Amino acid sequence: MEFLGDAILDSIVASYLFETYPDAKEGNLTEMRSNIVKRKRLNDIAVEMKLQKYLLARIPNLKQNDAMGNCLEAFIGTMYKDLGYKKTRKYVISKIILPHINKETLPIINTNYKSKLYQYVQKKKLELQLVAEPISKSNRQAFKAEVFINNEKISEGVGRSKKDAEQLASKNAMKILQV
């Protein structure tokens, strides 16, 4: 159900954004959709919706646990199977998107630092290398990412996932490069 819910949520958010921002470019719409359906946001929304009370398991650190976002996706997938696309879309827009997403600031939020960094180096015709590797940190899996531009190390970042580490390393590189 989680897989199905993920696909349905992407579809609903994409069509909602397309209708709400008809003049936006494809890249901007993609970025906005990504900001809405990213794991951390789904985790936060699921906690705000108090979905944990429907789970049989006790989940520590609710807002930092992907299980809540997965639960939300499974909920959406189940709703789609039971009620169909139209009712699911109406529910997702009225109960998930509108109460939890600020339509005014959404178009200007861009937190994909890795993408921004790639755009910057392409424009400047620089060579970018982003290297990420697993590390052990306090008995937990973590990742360290390093940004190299023209074979010179610019920055690094450590995160719970490879993606988090790459984003932090890219954000740090953007600060250093004053972009």
104 and 120 both lie in a single domain: no
In the predicted model, is pLDDT for residue 133 greater than 70? yes
Using CA atoms of 117, 122, 125, 126 in order, give the dihedral in degrees to the nearest 10. Answer: 30
Banded model confidence at residue 8, pLDDT cuts 50, 70, 90? very high
Locate all alpha helices (DSSP H) within the chain, ordered by sequence: 2-20, 26-37, 39-48, 66-83, 85-91, 98-100, 113-124, 162-176
Catalytic residue (one of 6, 31, 146, 164): 6
3-state SS class at 89:
helix
Say whether 10 is catalytic. Answer: no
- In angstroms, the CA 90 to CA 61 distance is 30
pLDDT of 19 reads: 93
| Residue 127, token pair as written in the block | 């060579």
pLDDT of 102 reads: 76
143 and 73 both lie in a single domain: no
Say whether 73 is catalytic. Answer: yes
**Domain span including residue 144:** 113-176
| CATH number of the CATH domain containing 36 | 1.10.1520.10
Average pLDDT over every residue of 113-138:
87
156 and 81 both lie in a single domain: no
pLDDT tens for residues 60-90?
Answer: 665 566 888 899 999 999 999 999 999 999 9
- Residues in CB range of 89: below 8 A, 6 or more apart: 12, 15
Catalytic residue (one of 31, 44, 73, 164): 73
Averaged pLDDT score across all residues of the chain? 87
